[in-house]
């Protein structure tokens, strides 16, 4: 049953991801990315990461994708030919990486370590335990993340505001 659910989510994720790359209209691309985000969130729920599933929907689908859609509508790009001349190179690189990944996963020499005994079924993924880890072990990276967001905000304002650099 769990495998069945996983296969459904995986199939939809892969199809939506391919549509993002293949579809001609950027709006349809963004919408199929939305479908993919929702199914990734579903995958997180099956992995008992409910907090991340909520965050995935709120931040990715709610904030980031809306930003994309705003820009797509704002720029009003006319449809152009979609692929450039690097197609063969990209295809070659993709095939090489894919075979490498499959070989690494399937080959005998590579095995994922067994889960530590007794911790496999532990209450992983609830918001409380994530908060405890985040504010104790990872407190300093958490502060750095807030700094990154501040820098990104200032950078976005400076880049997109007209004439803020030329006036001085």
Interface of this chain with another protein, residues 101 to 140, rule: CB under 8 A = 101-102, 105, 112-113, 115-116, 119-122, 124-125, 129-130, 133-134, 137-138
CB of 87 to another protein, least distance (A): 6
17 is an interface residue for another protein by CB under 8 A:
yes
Comparing CB distances to another protein, the nearer of 112 and 167 is: 112
Closest CA to 22 of 90, 69, 72: 90
| Sign of the alpha-carbon torsion through 77, 79, 82, 85 | negative
Comparing CB distances to another protein, the nearer of 38 and 168 is: 38
Residue 30: count of CB within 10 angstroms of its CB: 20
H or E stretch covering 40: helix 26-46
Question: Restricting to residues 70-99, which ones interact with another protein according to CB under 8 A?
Answer: 71-72, 74-75, 77, 80-84, 86-87, 89-91, 93-94, 97-98
| d(C-alpha 148, C-alpha 159), whole Å | 16
């Amino acid at each position: 049953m769990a495998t069945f659910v996983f296969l459904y989510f995986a199939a939809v994720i892969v199809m939506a991801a391919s549509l993002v790359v293949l579809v001609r209209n950027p709006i349809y691309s963004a919408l199929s990315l939305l479908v993919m985000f929702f199914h990734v969130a579903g995958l997180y729920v099956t992995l008992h990461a409910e907090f991340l599933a909520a965050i995935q929907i709120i931040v990715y689908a709610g904030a980031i994708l809306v930003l994309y859609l705003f820009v797509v509508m704002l720029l009003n790009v006319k449809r152009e030919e979609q692929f450039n001349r690097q197609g063969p190179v990209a295809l070659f690189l993709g095939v090489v990486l894919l075979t490498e990944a499959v070989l690494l996963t399937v080959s005998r020499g590579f095995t994922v370590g067994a889960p530590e005994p007794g911790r496999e079924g532990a209450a992983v993924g609830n918001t409380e335990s994530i908060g405890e880890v985040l504010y104790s072990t990872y407190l300093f990276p958490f502060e750095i993340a807030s700094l990154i967001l501040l820098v990104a905000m200032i950078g976005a304002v400076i880049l997109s505001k007209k004439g803020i650099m030329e006036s001085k």
